[in-house]
Structure 1
């Protein structure tokens, strides 16, 4: 055998398969089951249910919104109502009415000072020019501000129209009185009129008439004493007063548009009933169902394709790890299809528990999702399979949990649950991976509770969702979820151990208890074999760990590997204390039958006590098909002495096997033989121990005892070195070192 495990002829011996457990077809079928599990677990949360509906048909059941849906019709109605609540916006426009007074007074003063113009002409000029100045003043203001940005064009247009519409009509007799005014009177009248106009237009004014009604009172209280002057000032002041607050259509429209934009959309919340049972499908309802993609004629190819790809990605991650680690590849894969099926069941159970918790979530109690025992799967995988596989699976659980427990609207994933799941899953993995007692599961559950509560607190603090009661409930549910995880793991562990014959570290530690009935039987009935088994356990555990095999399995398997000797304890040399060896007086063939029977008897006894198969395999395979040479040569000698030809061959004196199928069985077999050989030496030296170990390993190697397990030559060297170191440590006082030998010589 070389390092790849070849036979003497150089051919690679194919790995034995055990039916469906190693079948590649079954393995691919299980990968397909993983895809289906992921797809159908997540499809209700990604792909909405569709209904066969037409306009005018009657719904046979309540149709609920699978996610938050915007109600377009109700939203438009709400927007119109919001816009309708916006009142017309009025803006102030300063028309500088004092300038109009100044212009009129200046024209009167100029014209009255011209002696070349007759009174009749002056009256005619006043009658035509003064009313026109009102409109000219407005037009000039519009022209000066048009396009400047101070006032909108629509506002200037509205101002021009309203102001001109409210123009005051000066009485006819006023024009006849104007030529009578002297220059000094006009100066006084100008100041009084400007002050009155300024005072009455300083406040917002939509209707000029309300201000004009106050002119007479202000004029009477002025310094003007001449009656005619007061009358003219009164009329000109009324004429010069204009409205200064106008409807701003552009600002009003903009405000109404803004109100529509600020109106929150009317939505149908996830889980709300869109159509009640027995309700007729109106065109509005049909459009709503169509917009929500709830009709069967609406295809959902993209969500389905995306979910399928996501499921394949999950499986690809699992397969890539299992393949790269050699767990499902190579001549002797680490995991059989039975263990892959167990992994699938763990995923199924974990997803079901999360789905159940998701059913308890409501809008007001969304924090119920923190009760989900998401670390259940990671903890079971760590205990039953592999820590690194549990870490990989933790990320898959986190992604799936963030989708299943998602309460956010318009999002596929909910970050806070994804973060929560990955924290508690990793906390579970690192808390339980060295567990050796059932109580360690409860301790790991407490760690999950603590880290889960911390993760929830951190996410709530960062999102500033610090409402007192939801905050307390969230942390409480997270803490309770860790304890629930521990309870479920403790309850499920025996199911997986018994159903799949899995030997977890916890189970192995329980089986190594000296109070186990079989070990008690071994101790009381065969104390020599018991001591031998304990020594083999110490040797094999160290050797197995040296090559990366399961050291704990080797130790416990060693405790039970010779349990069959309890049927005929006196026929085995380690139990022959102060008694005659019975083999001296019986036929060698009978002796051979008694010796080789202990392996088969041990398997039967182990089955009777429901000891897991890996330990039974060690008991059955630790001798392989090795030869009992002592009895063979004894029988051969007897035949020669009797002068007859032997009717047997060496193969008739071999153990029935099978050969070692695992590294652990091979290691226990080597340790068993080495321990017995070293015990037979009276004063062994280090060189003798080393030579004996190498001789035993080489003898079994030459006898093809390792052809059916994947031990390499390099690993056999490590086993030899480990056994040498262990034996020197155990039998330190009996083994002579080379210096001691030289001294004696």
Structure 2
């Protein structure tokens, strides 16, 4: 806007930029949210179910084919191996022992034959005895026969033989046992034992009926042989020849069974539909404002897309190595814990079909997700993420060991899987350290870690300000102290408020001597300038600060404070100076360009900035006078509608006033005069 007087008449020219391009109509927030969420959900839906599209292929193999590439299970499932069950049944029938029953009749007949033999030995003549012995006791040698003939007490021999027979019968003699016993006899064996074995018969007779009944019961107890195929397991290796048995196995696995495949596909489809509906409402009710933020949405979408593509095409046996917790850490640090927990919780549910419904991996990752979310608060700097990665590894090992033991995995598998879980936790921490700075810078997202780095007074921009504009630097430090305490009192982000104060006046470094806090020689450059030009110079520090902030890659949230901390405040000194000579002067020419503070933090910084300068100029800094000054300045800001967009309540403003007064008491407290001190 240009104005000048010509022969007593005032002329005003307003210059506006005419856009040659058609302005695009801005979509309402609800429409933007729906578009973004539909894109997000459709992507997750497609990738989650794409793993199952291949199950509709017909079996392309036949007996005798050689595999050109290995066949890998696309998902985890179980099947009943009928061939293995048949093999178990055959081995059972082959190795099953029959049931034998003791036959007392056989034993009694043996005892009777023995009595007959003993009586014959007592009363027959020697020639008949020898013929009888040879016929009845073929196991006896000539020496044994001579001993038998010379025995005087046959009753005693009878008792000894009976004792031997009873021992054998009580043990239970089968046909195969009888042969072994006879073969075990030798010349050194005692005579009663040889005679007993000669009369011995098997007293345990095979029972066909009971054996058949036992076998039937054993066969009924044989369960199906269920084989678990985990997602990623190699079913058939490369260059392996397809045999009849292996072809049956492929069909039994259901990879090419259209009916079973359709059931799996349809079940997964229903699962993902229900999950997507729940996901939509969870986002709408809890984190809609975050999704509407372009930078946050793009960062989330890119992280998710990369992870899902990796999960979809990586070898299934490497799932345990995936650094799933890196997403939790990055989103938790970029946005907040609640956002990360919701997004990653649903991502885990969407990944379940890709994992082949592997409940073991799901449980481990679920516990890890909850544990990692709790660890985010403990991260104060980037090196803490290494420790967090180690803690994640430990919790995954503990949960993994429990789950794998319940799943009856052998010790070798438990050790191997736990080593992969340990690596995934460490990798998550390292990956977060590597990727977080890129997401912070690319999407201009201010994180707490970035705030900690910006709050370091050795930052190049702050060091430059301390050297080139020391007055402004000290002013910024005091404003930071005032603002941080006030923000903490009303529950605002005190860390962000403090760091933003450090940088809010960096634009003054371009012309430091034009600001009173940097004037130490008593020379004021404004004395030689017109009020209009002085106004332009003073107002420029907000834009100069934003440009300098971009150059030094200061986040947008802090650059916004550089513009908002002055709002549209009137530079009253220069305005009143011009108005004395020109009552018709346009007041808007002497106001800052704005915008007005849009957040509580920005409003606090505006108030602290004005109040610090005013209180510093006071001669009497007693608490009552300071409070009057604080209330007067804040009242003026409210009357000028500078706080209209900041959403501050009257109660919060009162808390801010009390905080300012209390802080000033600490800064400008009275000091004890020591002896000899003027």
Q: Could you tell me the TM-score, scaled by structure 1's length? A: 0.65
Within the candidate set 555, 562, 577, 1:634 is matched to 577
Residue 340 of structure 2 is aligned to residue 340 of structure 1? no
Report the equivalent of 1:578: 521
Larger Rg computed on CA atoms: 1
Distance of aligned partners of 1:349 and 1:55 in 2 relative to their CA distance in 1, 3 Å threshold: closer
Residue 476 of structure 2 is aligned to residue 539 of structure 1? no
- CA shift at 1:501, angstroms? 0.6
Report the equivalent of 2:614: 677
Question: 8 Å contact 1:350–1:376 — kept in the other structure?
Answer: no
Q: Which runs of 5+ in 2 are unaligned?
A: 1-23, 111-161, 180-200, 673-678
Q: Distance in 2 between matches of 1:377 and 1:508?
A: 21
- CA shift at 1:378, angstroms? 2.3
Q: Alpha-carbon deviations, 1:99-153, whole Å to 9, x = none?
A: 999xxxxxxxxxxxxxxxxxxxxxxxxxxxxxxxxxxxxxxxxxxxxxxxxxxxx
- CA shift at 1:652, angstroms? 2.0
Within the candidate set 367, 370, 377, 1:433 is matched to 377
The equivalences for 1:308-707 within 5 A come to: 308-314=273-279, 316-322=281-287, 328=288, 336-349=293-306, 359-361=316-318, 369=320, 371-392=321-342, 395-396=345-346, 412-414=358-360, 417-418=361-362, 420-456=364-400, 467=411, 473=416, 476-639=419-582, 646-707=583-644
Distance of aligned partners of 1:275 and 1:517 in 2 relative to their CA distance in 1, 3 Å threshold: closer
- CA shift at 1:92, angstroms? 2.1
Q: Distance in 1 between matches of 2:547 and 2:174?
A: 111
Report the equivalent of 1:78: 87
Q: Distance in 1 between matches of 2:671 and 2:593?
A: 35
- CA shift at 1:54, angstroms? 8.5
Report the equivalent of 1:30: 36
Distance of aligned partners of 1:356 and 1:303 in 2 relative to their CA distance in 1, 3 Å threshold: closer
Q: Distance in 2 between matches of 1:655 and 1:597?
A: 9
The equivalences for 1:237-276 within 5 A come to: 245-249=205-209, 251-252=211-212, 254-256=214-216, 258-259=218-219, 261-262=221-222, 265=225, 267=227, 269-270=229-230, 271-273=233-235
Distance of aligned partners of 1:396 and 1:697 in 2 relative to their CA distance in 1, 3 Å threshold: same
Question: 8 Å contact 1:588–1:635 — kept in the other structure?
Answer: yes
Which has the bigger relative contact order, CA under 8 A and spacing at least 6?
1
Distance of aligned partners of 1:83 and 1:729 in 2 relative to their CA distance in 1, 3 Å threshold: same
Q: Count residues in correspondence.
A: 570
Distance of aligned partners of 1:648 and 1:295 in 2 relative to their CA distance in 1, 3 Å threshold: farther
Q: Distance in 2 between matches of 1:457 and 1:284?
A: 33
Q: Alpha-carbon deviations, 1:459-505, whole Å to 9, x = none?
A: 667778683x6565555444443332221111111111011111112
Question: 8 Å contact 1:374–1:397 — kept in the other structure?
Answer: no
- CA shift at 1:446, angstroms? 3.4
Q: What secondary structure does 1:92 align onto?
A: strand
Report the equivalent of 2:676: none
Question: 8 Å contact 1:571–1:595 — kept in the other structure?
Answer: yes
Q: Distance in 1 between matches of 2:291 and 2:659?
A: 23
Question: 8 Å contact 2:332–2:339 — kept in the other structure?
Answer: yes
Q: What secondary structure does 1:245 align onto?
A: strand
Report the equivalent of 2:98: 89
Q: Which runs of 5+ in 1 are unaligned?
A: 1-17, 102-194, 211-240, 323-327, 362-367, 640-645, 736-745
- CA shift at 1:509, angstroms? 2.1
Distance of aligned partners of 1:280 and 1:351 in 2 relative to their CA distance in 1, 3 Å threshold: closer
RMSD of aligned alpha carbons: 4.6
Q: Distance in 2 between matches of 1:52 and 1:460?
A: 35
- CA shift at 1:386, angstroms? 1.1
Question: 8 Å contact 1:401–1:421 — kept in the other structure?
Answer: no
Residue 217 of structure 2 is aligned to residue 289 of structure 1? no
- CA shift at 1:516, angstroms? 2.7
- CA shift at 1:617, angstroms? 0.6
Distance of aligned partners of 1:475 and 1:680 in 2 relative to their CA distance in 1, 3 Å threshold: same
Question: 8 Å contact 1:55–1:282 — kept in the other structure?
Answer: no
Q: Distance in 2 between matches of 1:247 and 1:564?
A: 107
